[in-house]
Protein backbone atom coordinates (compact mmCIF):
# COMPACT_ATOMS: atom_id res chain seq x y z
CA UNK A 1 0.00 0.00 0.00
CA UNK A 2 2.88 2.36 0.78
CA UNK A 3 4.32 1.75 -2.71
CA UNK A 4 0.94 2.49 -4.31
CA UNK A 5 0.55 5.71 -2.35
CA UNK A 6 4.04 6.78 -3.36
CA UNK A 7 3.25 5.97 -7.00
CA UNK A 8 0.06 8.00 -6.68
CA UNK A 9 2.23 11.06 -5.92
CA UNK A 10 5.18 10.41 -8.23
CA UNK A 11 3.19 9.53 -11.38
CA UNK A 12 1.35 12.90 -11.70
CA UNK A 13 4.63 14.76 -11.10
CA UNK A 14 6.30 12.62 -13.78
CA UNK A 15 3.52 13.38 -16.28
CA UNK A 16 3.67 17.12 -15.62
CA UNK A 17 7.46 17.07 -15.98
CA UNK A 18 7.24 15.30 -19.34
CA UNK A 19 4.56 17.77 -20.47
CA UNK A 20 6.74 20.74 -19.51
CA UNK A 21 9.78 19.31 -21.31
CA UNK A 22 7.69 18.63 -24.41
CA UNK A 23 6.29 22.17 -24.41
CA UNK A 24 9.75 23.73 -24.05
CA UNK A 25 11.22 21.61 -26.85
CA UNK A 26 8.34 22.41 -29.19
CA UNK A 27 8.24 26.16 -28.53
CA UNK A 28 11.96 26.91 -28.25
CA UNK A 29 13.54 24.27 -30.50
CA UNK A 30 11.30 22.54 -33.03
CA UNK A 31 9.04 25.43 -34.08
CA UNK A 32 11.87 28.03 -34.42
CA UNK A 33 13.79 25.59 -36.63
CA UNK A 34 10.82 25.53 -39.04
CA UNK A 35 11.07 29.28 -39.67
CA UNK A 36 14.38 28.75 -41.45
CA UNK A 37 12.61 27.79 -44.68
CA UNK A 38 12.45 31.03 -46.77
CA UNK A 39 10.36 29.47 -49.55
CA UNK A 40 7.09 29.57 -47.57
CA UNK A 41 4.93 32.58 -46.87
CA UNK A 42 4.84 33.70 -43.21
CA UNK A 43 1.06 33.28 -42.94
CA UNK A 44 1.02 29.64 -44.04
CA UNK A 45 4.46 28.64 -42.87
CA UNK A 46 4.82 25.14 -41.39
CA UNK A 47 5.97 26.73 -38.14
CA UNK A 48 2.73 28.62 -37.56
CA UNK A 49 0.51 25.73 -38.65
CA UNK A 50 2.41 23.25 -36.54
CA UNK A 51 2.48 25.64 -33.58
CA UNK A 52 -1.29 26.15 -33.75
CA UNK A 53 -1.88 22.39 -33.96
CA UNK A 54 0.42 21.66 -31.03
CA UNK A 55 -1.19 24.33 -28.85
CA UNK A 56 -4.65 22.97 -29.69
CA UNK A 57 -3.66 19.41 -28.77
CA UNK A 58 -1.82 20.51 -25.63
CA UNK A 59 -4.69 22.71 -24.43
CA UNK A 60 -7.18 19.85 -24.81
CA UNK A 61 -4.90 17.31 -23.14
CA UNK A 62 -4.12 19.61 -20.20
CA UNK A 63 -7.70 20.86 -19.92
CA UNK A 64 -9.17 17.37 -19.75
CA UNK A 65 -6.41 16.36 -17.33
CA UNK A 66 -7.50 19.13 -14.96
CA UNK A 67 -11.18 18.18 -15.37
CA UNK A 68 -10.43 14.54 -14.55
CA UNK A 69 -8.89 15.68 -11.26
CA UNK A 70 -11.60 18.23 -10.46
CA UNK A 71 -14.52 15.95 -11.39
CA UNK A 72 -13.70 13.37 -8.75
CA UNK A 73 -16.19 10.52 -8.41
CA UNK A 74 -18.55 11.33 -5.57
CA UNK A 75 -18.15 9.64 -2.23
CA UNK A 76 -21.31 7.55 -1.83
CA UNK A 77 -20.29 6.14 1.53
CA UNK A 78 -22.30 8.81 3.36
CA UNK A 79 -25.41 8.40 1.20
CA UNK A 80 -25.61 4.63 0.79
CA UNK A 81 -27.23 2.45 3.42
CA UNK A 82 -24.48 -0.09 4.02
CA UNK A 83 -26.58 -2.07 6.46
CA UNK A 84 -26.52 -2.49 10.22
CA UNK A 85 -23.01 -2.96 11.55
CA UNK A 86 -21.43 -2.48 8.10
CA UNK A 87 -18.44 -0.27 7.64
CA UNK A 88 -16.80 1.17 4.53
CA UNK A 89 -13.95 -1.25 5.09
CA UNK A 90 -16.37 -4.11 4.39
CA UNK A 91 -16.31 -3.04 0.75
CA UNK A 92 -12.60 -3.78 0.40
CA UNK A 93 -13.08 -7.39 -0.63
CA UNK A 94 -16.40 -6.79 -2.36
CA UNK A 95 -18.15 -9.16 0.06
CA UNK A 96 -20.98 -6.76 0.81
CA UNK A 97 -23.55 -5.91 -1.83
CA UNK A 98 -26.43 -4.12 -0.11
CA UNK A 99 -29.63 -3.61 -2.00
CA UNK A 100 -29.22 0.13 -1.88
CA UNK A 101 -25.85 -0.04 -3.63
CA UNK A 102 -25.62 1.00 -7.24
CA UNK A 103 -24.05 -1.20 -9.97
CA UNK A 104 -20.25 -1.60 -9.80
CA UNK A 105 -20.02 0.53 -6.66
CA UNK A 106 -16.54 0.09 -5.24
CA UNK A 107 -14.40 1.34 -2.36
CA UNK A 108 -10.95 2.57 -3.43
CA UNK A 109 -8.22 2.20 -0.83
CA UNK A 110 -6.13 5.05 -2.26
CA UNK A 111 -8.96 7.59 -2.57
CA UNK A 112 -10.78 6.29 0.55
CA UNK A 113 -14.17 6.77 -1.07
CA UNK A 114 -17.05 4.66 -2.37
CA UNK A 115 -17.69 5.54 -6.02
CA UNK A 116 -20.38 4.68 -8.51
CA UNK A 117 -19.47 2.84 -11.72
CA UNK A 118 -15.86 2.58 -10.63
CA UNK A 119 -13.62 1.80 -13.59
CA UNK A 120 -10.07 1.98 -12.22
CA UNK A 121 -7.68 4.18 -10.27
CA UNK A 122 -5.45 6.27 -12.54
CA UNK A 123 -2.07 6.92 -10.95
CA UNK A 124 -1.13 9.60 -13.51
CA UNK A 125 -4.05 11.74 -12.36
CA UNK A 126 -4.01 10.51 -8.77
CA UNK A 127 -7.75 10.01 -8.98
CA UNK A 128 -10.39 7.36 -9.50
CA UNK A 129 -12.06 7.13 -12.89
CA UNK A 130 -15.81 6.72 -12.63
CA UNK A 131 -19.13 7.93 -13.91
CA UNK A 132 -18.41 11.64 -13.61
CA UNK A 133 -15.00 11.91 -15.27
CA UNK A 134 -14.91 9.01 -17.75
CA UNK A 135 -15.39 11.19 -20.81
CA UNK A 136 -12.70 13.65 -19.74
CA UNK A 137 -10.34 10.75 -19.09
CA UNK A 138 -10.88 9.34 -22.59
CA UNK A 139 -10.36 12.77 -24.13
CA UNK A 140 -7.22 13.17 -22.04
CA UNK A 141 -5.81 9.87 -23.38
CA UNK A 142 -6.80 10.75 -26.95
CA UNK A 143 -5.22 14.19 -27.03
CA UNK A 144 -2.15 13.03 -25.12
CA UNK A 145 -1.52 10.37 -27.75
CA UNK A 146 -2.02 12.93 -30.56
CA UNK A 147 0.28 15.45 -28.86
CA UNK A 148 2.96 12.77 -28.48
CA UNK A 149 2.59 11.83 -32.16
CA UNK A 150 2.88 15.49 -33.15
CA UNK A 151 5.99 15.89 -31.02
CA UNK A 152 7.44 12.69 -32.44
CA UNK A 153 7.04 13.90 -36.04
CA UNK A 154 8.46 17.34 -35.21
CA UNK A 155 11.38 15.79 -33.33
CA UNK A 156 12.19 13.44 -36.20
CA UNK A 157 12.14 16.39 -38.61
CA UNK A 158 14.49 18.32 -36.34
CA UNK A 159 16.92 15.40 -35.98
CA UNK A 160 16.78 14.72 -39.71
CA UNK A 161 17.73 18.34 -40.48
CA UNK A 162 20.33 18.63 -37.72
CA UNK A 163 22.13 15.32 -38.31
CA UNK A 164 21.50 15.26 -42.09
CA UNK A 165 19.89 11.83 -41.95
CA UNK A 166 16.80 10.32 -43.55
CA UNK A 167 14.01 8.31 -41.94
CA UNK A 168 12.75 6.94 -45.26
CA UNK A 169 14.02 3.52 -44.21
CA UNK A 170 11.85 2.10 -41.37
CA UNK A 171 14.94 0.58 -39.80
CA UNK A 172 16.51 4.03 -39.46
CA UNK A 173 14.38 4.83 -36.43
CA UNK A 174 15.04 1.45 -34.80
CA UNK A 175 18.80 1.81 -35.17
CA UNK A 176 18.84 5.51 -34.24
CA UNK A 177 19.19 5.01 -30.49
CA UNK A 178 22.13 2.54 -30.40
CA UNK A 179 23.91 4.47 -33.13
CA UNK A 180 23.37 7.75 -31.28
CA UNK A 181 24.65 6.33 -27.99
CA UNK A 182 27.92 5.31 -29.61
CA UNK A 183 28.27 8.74 -31.22
CA UNK A 184 27.45 10.50 -27.94
CA UNK A 185 30.18 8.74 -25.98
CA UNK A 186 32.65 9.31 -28.82
CA UNK A 187 31.94 13.06 -28.69
CA UNK A 188 30.38 13.31 -32.15
CA UNK A 189 26.89 14.04 -30.79
CA UNK A 190 25.83 16.95 -28.59
CA UNK A 191 23.99 16.33 -25.32
CA UNK A 192 20.98 18.36 -26.51
CA UNK A 193 20.66 16.23 -29.63
CA UNK A 194 20.98 13.05 -27.58
CA UNK A 195 18.27 14.30 -25.24
CA UNK A 196 15.90 14.92 -28.16
CA UNK A 197 16.56 11.40 -29.48
CA UNK A 198 15.71 9.92 -26.09
CA UNK A 199 12.52 11.97 -26.01
CA UNK A 200 11.53 10.55 -29.40
CA UNK A 201 11.30 7.06 -27.96
CA UNK A 202 9.53 8.35 -24.86
CA UNK A 203 6.90 10.10 -26.98
CA UNK A 204 6.46 6.96 -29.04
CA UNK A 205 5.92 4.82 -25.94
CA UNK A 206 3.52 7.23 -24.24
CA UNK A 207 1.60 7.85 -27.46
CA UNK A 208 1.11 4.15 -28.20
CA UNK A 209 0.16 3.40 -24.59
CA UNK A 210 -2.43 6.20 -24.46
CA UNK A 211 -3.86 5.26 -27.87
CA UNK A 212 -4.16 1.59 -26.90
CA UNK A 213 -5.74 2.44 -23.56
CA UNK A 214 -8.20 4.80 -25.27
CA UNK A 215 -9.25 2.14 -27.79
CA UNK A 216 -9.67 -0.47 -25.05
CA UNK A 217 -11.75 1.92 -22.96
CA UNK A 218 -13.97 2.75 -25.93
CA UNK A 219 -14.57 -0.95 -26.55
CA UNK A 220 -15.69 -1.39 -22.95
CA UNK A 221 -18.00 1.62 -23.24
CA UNK A 222 -19.63 0.22 -26.37
CA UNK A 223 -20.32 -2.97 -24.41
CA UNK A 224 -21.64 -1.01 -21.46
CA UNK A 225 -18.93 -2.31 -19.14
CA UNK A 226 -16.22 -0.96 -16.89
CA UNK A 227 -12.82 -2.46 -16.17
CA UNK A 228 -13.92 -3.16 -12.61
CA UNK A 229 -16.93 -5.14 -13.85
CA UNK A 230 -14.77 -7.14 -16.24
CA UNK A 231 -12.21 -7.85 -13.52
CA UNK A 232 -14.91 -9.01 -11.08
CA UNK A 233 -16.82 -10.99 -13.71
CA UNK A 234 -20.02 -8.97 -13.25
CA UNK A 235 -22.85 -9.50 -15.73
CA UNK A 236 -24.23 -6.26 -17.18
CA UNK A 237 -27.57 -5.66 -18.82
CA UNK A 238 -27.33 -5.66 -22.60
CA UNK A 239 -28.19 -2.30 -24.14
CA UNK A 240 -27.77 -0.72 -27.57
CA UNK A 241 -24.30 0.70 -28.09
CA UNK A 242 -25.74 4.14 -28.82
CA UNK A 243 -27.21 4.31 -25.32
CA UNK A 244 -23.90 3.25 -23.81
CA UNK A 245 -22.08 6.00 -25.70
CA UNK A 246 -24.64 8.64 -24.75
CA UNK A 247 -24.39 7.68 -21.09
CA UNK A 248 -20.67 8.48 -21.10
CA UNK A 249 -20.34 11.27 -23.67
CA UNK A 250 -23.79 12.88 -23.33
CA UNK A 251 -25.53 15.05 -25.89
CA UNK A 252 -22.64 17.54 -26.04
CA UNK A 253 -20.22 14.93 -27.38
CA UNK A 254 -19.15 17.06 -30.37
CA UNK A 255 -18.35 20.01 -28.11
CA UNK A 256 -16.32 17.70 -25.88
CA UNK A 257 -14.21 16.64 -28.85
CA UNK A 258 -13.16 20.21 -29.58
CA UNK A 259 -12.78 21.86 -26.19
CA UNK A 260 -12.50 20.54 -22.62
CA UNK A 261 -15.95 20.58 -21.00
CA UNK A 262 -17.36 18.98 -17.90
CA UNK A 263 -18.82 15.51 -18.14
CA UNK A 264 -22.51 14.73 -18.03
CA UNK A 265 -24.09 14.34 -14.61
CA UNK A 266 -24.06 10.88 -13.14
CA UNK A 267 -27.06 8.60 -13.01
CA UNK A 268 -26.82 8.79 -9.26
CA UNK A 269 -27.55 12.53 -9.28
CA UNK A 270 -30.41 12.05 -11.72
CA UNK A 271 -31.92 9.38 -9.48
CA UNK A 272 -31.60 11.67 -6.45
CA UNK A 273 -33.27 14.52 -8.30
CA UNK A 274 -36.17 12.30 -9.27
More confident residue, 266 or 106: 106
**pLDDT score, position 201:** 96
Nearest Cα residue to 244 out of 267, 260, 269: 267
Local confidence band at 36 (pLDDT 50, 70, 90 cut-offs)? low
In degrees rounded to 5, what are phi and psi of residue 249?
Answer: -95, -20
Percentage of the chain modeled with pLDDT above 90: 37
Q: Give the tens place of pLDDT for each residue, 127-140.
A: 888 888 899 999 99
Decide if pLDDT at 85 tops 50: no
Decide if pLDDT at 101 tops 80: no
- Integer Cα distance of 63 and 83 in angstroms: 40
**Packing angle of the helix pair 241-249, 134-163 (nearest 10 deg):** 80
Decide if pLDDT at 270 tops 70: no
Active site residue ranges: 122
Decide if pLDDT at 60 tops 80: yes
Q: What is the DSSP string of 106-149?
A: EEETTTTEEETT--EEETTTTEEE-TTTHHHHHHHHHHHHHHHH
DSSP state of 189: S
**pLDDT score, position 98:** 43
**pLDDT score, position 73:** 67
Decide if pLDDT at 99 tops 70: no
Decide if pLDDT at 143 tops 90: yes
Nearest Cα residue to 27 out of 150, 205, 211: 150
- CB environment 91-109: b (16+ within 10 A), e (fewer): beeeebeeeebbebbbbbe
Residues belonging to the chain:
274
**pLDDT score, position 237:** 82
Local confidence band at 75 (pLDDT 50, 70, 90 cut-offs)? low
Amino acid sequence: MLVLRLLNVVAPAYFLCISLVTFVLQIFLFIPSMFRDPSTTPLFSPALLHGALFLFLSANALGNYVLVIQSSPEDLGKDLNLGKGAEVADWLDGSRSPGSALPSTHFCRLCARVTQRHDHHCFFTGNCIGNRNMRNFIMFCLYTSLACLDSLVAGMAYISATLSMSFADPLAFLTLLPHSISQFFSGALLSSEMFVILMLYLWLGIGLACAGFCCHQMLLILRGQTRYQVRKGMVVRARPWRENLQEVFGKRWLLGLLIPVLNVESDYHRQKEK
